[in-house]
Chain A
Amino acid sequence: MNGHSNLLNWILWMPMIGVLVVLLLPRNKEGAIRYTALINSIITFALSIVLYMKFDPTVPGMQEYFKVLHPWISQFNINYSLGVDGISLPMIVLTSLLCVLCILCSWTISKSVKAYFALFLFLQSTVFGVFMSLDFFLFYVYWEVMLIPMFFLIGIWGGENREYAAVKFFLYTFFGSVLMLVGMVALYFVSADNPSIGQNTFDILALSGGKFTDLSLRLFGVDISFAKFFFVMMFIGFAIKVPVFPFHTWLPHAHVQAPTAISVILAGVLLKMGTYGFLRIAFPIFPQASVYFADAIAWLGLINVVYGALCAMAQTDVKKLIAYSSVSHMGFVMLGLAAMTVQGMNGAVLQMFNHGTSTAMMFLLVGILYERSHHRWIVRPDGTKGYGGLYTQLPKYSIVFIIAMFASMGLPGLSGFISEALIFLGIYQKYTTITVIALLGLLIGAAYLLWMFKRMFFGEVLDDCKSYTDMNAREIFYMTPLIIAVIVFGIYPSPILNVMKVSVGNLVSLLAKFN
């Protein structure tokens, strides 16, 4: 394709236009604010679909047609540079889709509506920024700015313990990202010495390709490999976001305290930013160190899978259970990344997308239930049942719940299965032991979900539950796209696999050079 498109700019800044409009509307026009946000997010989603249509899946790497490049701080060679490839495209589409649904799900928010939607759209824009940036500095700015709306969204609209959760989330991520910052600036200064780059740059593409394998740095009189040292720094930065064990402790708090829509964005999109960071930055820039640490990543991923599942099993709060199941599922992504094979990597990216849809469903469903019951106990602290017989009481809800649960469990025919199968295919030869134990994790996953389902949906209808009403039209409406997504991509994942195949293959062959 010839010519040039500003589509990425439009997608990135469309939510910001929404923010401006929302801010200009008077505070008491709540309906107008909601509709503005909704229309805005629908336009953004439509734009991202256009992006998907125009995307050329045969091109490896960044698509020239969509590239945006403007100098920003010319003295430091910092550019406003955006691009899209097969890895970021699914994430962009996922983000824009989930944001539409989240705005619908936030319809019932009544506290400071204006601020809520302004912050939400702002958050959406910064998330796009992370997925589109091709300049490390720009990436970092978006990565950090994203924390500010998130902090307020959890802190103001969250549950009882919201302040603690918001602060913990913020500090944790900030800690990780400053380590990344050091790596980023260090890369900038060594890049000029590299003959193949020749100038100080933050350009992710220029830095990529394993150009820093021979460098070393002195710390306390000991020579350490530059690449390995900063790979670890960046690993911590991204791992906190994923979250990889042992950096996961912020997640249960943040997820449980956040309002439903924010939990969805958090689990559906923000966690993927961590793994996206590996795919876009840590792996391409330090391929040799990535290969070196692949074993460690795999083992950490395995701990995530098993430990997350075991933690989920022990939960009595259904939202916390889903939160821990995210830890477990993100472990599969880490496993796929550690495999560094075509299947594994494809599986990981697909799992990023699929987990985004299935976990979003789960969180939305928990939110729907919470709006009726105002609690989330499977078993209350005093030992009595929190829910019972929901299946009789809420038939429509139960069907959607079953679909979501099976998708999340990885039942064949639903989306989770394909990605997990690909991941297992990818790692089996390299890490047989890990594969076997991870399969056990899958089993535990099935166990805690089914056990939860049994306790909540079967049995006697509790008196409290008798007043619950089934899903209304709005709720069904915003669940429908996700139901379609998990079923369609479970049977026919090619629409996603096709766009990412070439880009992922590109990365795998780069890593293979250092294997």
Chain B
Amino acid sequence: MALNYLASISRYVPELLSVVIMVGLIFIEACYDREEKKKPFFYLAAFFGLTFVFVNLAASLGKPATMIFTGSMTIDPFSTLSKMLMVLGTMGAIYLSKESKDIYDNLKSEFAIMAVGVMIGGMILASANNLLMVYIGIETLSILSYALASFKKDEERSSEAGLKYSLYGGISSGIMLFGMSHIFGMFGSIQFADIIAGINGLSTAQLAVLLPSFIMFFAGIGYKIACVPFHMWAPDVYEGSPLPVTTFFSIVPKVAGLAILLRVTMTFFGQEGALQVTWVGALSVIAALTMTVGNVSAIGQRSVKRMLAYSSISHAGMMMMGVVVINELGTRSILFYAITYLFMTLVAFYVTSFVADKYGNDHFERFSGLIKRYPMMAIMMTIVMFSLAGMPPLSGFVAKFNILGALLSEKHYMLALIAVLNSVVSLYYYMKIIKLMVLKDVESMEPIMGFGVMNQSIILVLTVPVVALGLFWSGIMRLTEGASIFLGP
């Protein structure tokens, strides 16, 4: 069912609202000349607006899936849920940027504005139903990200991050565009629906010719998810960017990238055949490599931020496992994984950020004896670290369990083994933090400013789902059950 233009707009409200928020924030930013006066109202507007978008999205979760703007975008429960995650991730990052010292005060409002912009790109990407929308989504997402990466203007590392990000981004979009134009050349259409119809009529030889263009198409997406071998930019960008930006990068672009990867895989390669076998084969290798490389690289890190960044690569690899299986359970497990991952990442980065603000760096030793000074925070961080590693009964375990279930339901035994062995590796470096926090003696008893009552309670609230979803996950899985339905071409 495709809606006409006017009717389409009614389903496009969240995106439009986000644009209004972005423009509105620019106005607020421009209207005040003094930072202190502006701050409360600015953030009030930002959070209020984003909450409104979130509620709007949540309200449309139950509506039937549909295509809008002559089939160029799909609004289905899956895309809506991904968008909700992105909105939450953006809110989390904006709140962190408000509290963090890693972003200069005069740039904080810029961060919020750009983050909303990136989020809009991600939302477009999650709904994209033709090649052009994919490209527009990726570019909207990327261009603002380049600026975000180089946010610390006077720091070499940050500029390096921005430059690296944009160079890699430019190249991979170029490759993707090339692949897309090839696909377009073959089928004469950019609509996913037409392409699928075309694929079904192709011979094996023709498919063989087509496959490289899909791989090139994948380069653009893979770059956004930072999966191996398109991950080279990630460590430097994550390291060079300010902490809130890193937090943001490890959530929003990843969710968007996975959403489109899943959609492309499910629509183009949903049917069994030679094409699917090749695609699945390639994706499994990439997913396994992504997980392993991310994990192994995380082991040797000194900086917690860098460790978390590398581990986010490996988590993306884990989520890609859910793509490989091409079934409903896989889709649902990715969504569940992304939901829990959002909360875990936010808590981990919040705590890291506040500790790093105190000492000026985020080396592992800075966490020594945290339990003596801030027992609550140390316990929350411990819970999250165990959860990230996949210890039951925490939600991180359930997420991995679901992915594992999806893999084994399709009899991917080897991938399942690689996945669980990786979680053993990851436990090692997550445990380093726990070990320092709980077992080591404290370095100094100086208070950490970031751990005010407000921030402590926010971290506490964010940890609740990490535990609760580990014990009672029927509800969320039922939610994803509805969200896994794809609108056919």
Contact = CB atoms under 8 A, between A and B. Distances in A.
B427 A217 contact: no
B231 to A, nearest CB: 24
Interface stretch (A163-171, A303-311, A387-395, A422-430): A163-171
A185 B438 contact: no
A10 interface: no
B439 A162 contact: yes
Most central of A179, A181, A218 by chain B CB within 10 Å = A181
A189 B409 contact: yes
A468 to B, nearest CB: 31
Given A75-B477, A182-B416, A182-B420, A145 B439 contact: no
Given A167-B431, A170-B431, A145 B391 contact: yes
Contact of A186 (B393, B408, B431): B408
B196 to A, nearest CB: 29
A131 interface: no
B413 interface: yes
B428 interface: yes
Interface stretch (A43-51, A148-156, A242-250): A148-156
A219 interface: yes
Interface in B380-403: 386, 390-393, 397, 401
Contacts of B416: 182, 185-186
Contacts of B477: 73, 75
Nearest to A181: B420
A433 interface: no
A141 B393 contact: yes
Contacts of B393: 141, 145
B424 interface: yes
A170 B391 CA distance: 11
A130 B351 CA distance: 34
Nearest to A176: B424
A73 B401 CA distance: 13
A512 B204 CA distance: 53
B413 A217 contact: yes
Interface residues of B, number: 31
B414 A163 contact: no
Contacts of A181: 401, 404, 420
B421 interface: yes
B392 A170 contact: no
B269 to A, nearest CB: 21
Contacts of A171: 424, 427-428, 431
Interface in A202-217: 217
A147 B478 CA distance: 30
Contacts of A75: 474, 477-478
Contact of A217 (B405, B411, B473): B411
B391 A148 contact: yes
B466 to A, nearest CB: 14
Nearest to A155: B439
B423 interface: yes
Given A175-B424, A219-B414, A144 B474 contact: no
Interface residues of A, number: 34
Contact of A178 (B414, B420, B438, B472): B420
Contacts of A182: 404, 408, 413, 416-417, 420
A141 B431 CA distance: 19
Contacts of B401: 181, 185
B439 A163 contact: yes
Nearest to B424: A175
B460 to A, nearest CB: 16
A472 interface: no
A284 to B, nearest CB: 21
Nearest to A188: B405
Interface in A97-118: none
Contacts of B414: 219-220
Nearest to B423: A178
Most central of B392, B393, B397, B435 by chain A CB within 10 Å = B392
Contacts of B435: 155, 163, 166-167
A141 B477 CA distance: 19
B410 to A, nearest CB: 9
Contact of B386 (A76, A148, A166, A186): A148
A194 to B, nearest CB: 15
A196 interface: no
Contact of A170 (B413, B427, B438): B427
A175 B420 CA distance: 8
Contacts of B438: 152, 155-156
A185 B402 CA distance: 9
A299 interface: no
A510 B267 CA distance: 49
A501 to B, nearest CB: 34
A218 B410 CA distance: 12
Contacts of B417: 179, 182
B13 to A, nearest CB: 32
B360 to A, nearest CB: 26
Contact of A141 (B392, B404, B473): B392
Contacts of B428: 167, 171
A115 B348 CA distance: 24
A174 B423 CA distance: 9
Contacts of A170: 427, 431
Contacts of B397: 144
A501 B400 CA distance: 40
A266 B424 CA distance: 22
A186 B413 contact: yes
A218 B411 contact: yes
A178 B424 contact: yes
Given A185-B401, A185-B404, A73 B427 contact: no
Nearest to A78: B474
Interface in B407-445: 408-409, 411, 413-414, 416-417, 420-421, 423-424, 427-428, 431, 435, 438-439
Contacts of A140: 392
A152 B404 CA distance: 28
A396 to B, nearest CB: 37
Contacts of B427: 170-171, 174
Given A145-B393, A185-B404, A73 B474 contact: yes
Nearest to B434: A151
Contacts of B421: 175, 178
Contacts of A219: 413-414
Contacts of B392: 140-141, 144-145
A456 B17 CA distance: 81
Nearest to B401: A185
Interface in A434-462: none
A2 interface: no
Nearest to B407: A185
B442 to A, nearest CB: 13
A280 to B, nearest CB: 18
A118 B420 CA distance: 30
A179 B417 CA distance: 7
A174 to B, nearest CB: 6
A477 B393 CA distance: 38
A186 B300 CA distance: 33
Contacts of A384: none
Contacts of B472: 73
B49 to A, nearest CB: 35
B157 to A, nearest CB: 32
Nearest to B375: A115
A185 B431 contact: no
Contacts of A166: 435, 439
Interface of A: 73-76, 140-141, 144-145, 147-148, 152, 155-156, 162-163, 166-167, 170-171, 174-175, 178-179, 181-182, 185-186, 188-189, 217-220, 229
Given A141-B392, A141-B393, A182-B408, 5 more contacts: A140-B392, A145-B392, A170-B431, A171-B424, A185-B401
8 contacts: A73-B472, A75-B474, A155-B439, A162-B439, A178-B421, A188-B408, A217-B411, A218-B411
Top 4 A-B pairs, shortest CB-CB distance: A178-B420, A141-B392, A155-B439, A175-B424
